[in-house]
Amino acid sequence: MARLFDLTTSFATSVLRAGSGMQVGAIGRRPEKTLELYEFENCPFCRKVREAFSILDLDADVRPCPKGGPGYREAVRKRGGKAQFPYLVDPNAGIEMYESDDIVRYLFDAYGDGKLPWTLAVPALRDISSVLSGLPRVGYGSHYRAARVPDQALELYSFEASPFSRLVREALCSLELPYRLHNVAKGSPAREAFVARSGRMMVPYLIDPNTGRELFESADIVRYLDDTYLEGR
Ligand X SMILES: N[C@@H](CCC(=O)N[C@@H](CS)C(=O)NCC(=O)O)C(=O)O
CB of 80 to ligand X, least distance (A): 11
Which strands form 205-208's sheet, in the order they lie side by side?
95-97, 87-90, 35-39, 60-64, 179-183, 154-158, 205-208, 213-216
Alpha-carbon span 63 to 179, nearest angstrom = 7
CB of 87 to ligand X, least distance (A): 8
The reply to whether 127 sits near ligand X by the rule CB under 6 A is no
Please say which residue, 49 or 110, places its beta carbon nearer to ligand X.
49
Contact present, 89 and 96 (Cβ < 8 Å): yes
CB of 98 to ligand X, least distance (A): 6
By rule CB under 6 A, what count of residues binds ligand X?
11
For residue 220, give every residue at least 6 positions away whose Cβ sits within 8 Å of its Cβ, in sequence order, or none.
none
Please say which residue, 49 or 207, places its beta carbon nearer to ligand X.
49
Which segment (93-101, 157-165, 167-175, 192-200) binds ligand X by CB under 6 A? 93-101
Given 99, 155, 217, 226, the residue binding ligand X (CB under 6 A): 99
Given 16, 43, 156, 222, the residue binding ligand X (CB under 6 A): 43
Q: Which residues sit opposite 97 in a β-bridge?
A: 88
Given 13, 20, 100, 129, the residue binding ligand X (CB under 6 A): 100
Alpha-carbon span 61 to 179, nearest angstrom = 6
The DSSP string of 143-156 is: B---BPPPSS-EEE
Which segment (92-100, 177-185, 206-214, 225-233) binds ligand X by CB under 6 A? 92-100
Please say which residue, 48 or 182, places its beta carbon nearer to ligand X.
48
Alpha-carbon span 137 to 140, nearest angstrom = 6
Q: Pattern 45-84, binding to ligand X, x per CB under 6 A?
A: x---------------------x---------------xx
AA identity, residue 99: E
Contact present, 107 and 115 (Cβ < 8 Å): no
Residues at the site binding ligand X, with contacts judged by CB under 6 A: 43, 45, 67, 83-86, 98-101
